[in-house]
Amino acid sequence: MSDINQKALEEINHIEMLVGRNILLFQEVELLLKEINHLRHGAGTENNLLKRKRKINELSLGRLSDTSVLNKIDSKLSVKNDTEFYHTYDLLKDYEPLNAAIKFFNDINADRNFLVHNFITKWNLEEAEVRIKAIEWLINQHHVSFSQKEVLVLSLNIINSRIDIINEYFSSEEGMKQWNDFLDSNEEAQISFTFQEK
């Protein structure tokens, strides 16, 4: 990089800070999606559900937001057998804000990869106009991504609260009765959970 003035150096430092902030946001999104994809729904034996969780934890953001990847995992691990108990759960059925947020992160995965691998090297930050555009691009990326991350946070909170409800109800016979009454009276509950004997 050729000699540049102090103002330009400060702007470049600011750009590097913005890049780091956005990368951190996408790392947080990746962790959220791992939890959501594991807890939102599942079907299989206990052993296969544990395998499913491990496979989800191995995925990167782009694959976590690709429903076809998750469908392939589920198709292999949701099989039944005659020797193990089979579990199914669906704690957030067809929740459109969550579906839209997941699609958003899948759609911008190329921009996320560009940010992580090529942003600093591909932009000629010696030029003032380029620095202005880079700052605008990074701020806009953070703004729209942060709003979608908040949808993920809300969705995970809903799922966790429903897990708490299930744990409370399933702890007693009376609780099971209240649970069934709750489902019968609330069509918007969007919760299903079954436990089938082997």
Q: Which two tokens stand for residue 62?
A: 């782009």
pLDDT digits (tens, 9 = 90+) for 68-117: 999 999 999 998 888 888 888 888 878 999 999 999 999 999 999 999 99
Report percent pLDDT > 90 for the chain: 61
**Per-residue pLDDT, 26:** 96
3-state secondary structure of 164: helix
What pTM, to 2 d.p., does this model score?
Answer: 0.83
Dump pLDDT digits (tens) for 10-57: 999 999 999 999 999 999 999 999 999 999 999 999 899 999 999 999
Q: How far is CA 174 from the centre of its chain?
A: 35
Q: Which residue has the tokens 């897990």?
A: 163
Distance between CA atoms of residues 2 and 10, nearest Å: 15
> Residues 6 or more apart from 175 whose CB is under 8 A from it?
168, 169
Residue 155: Cβ-neighbour burial (10 angstroms; 0-12, 13-18, 19+): buried
DSSP-derived secondary structure letter, 118:
T
Contact between 55 and 176 (Cβ < 8 Å): no
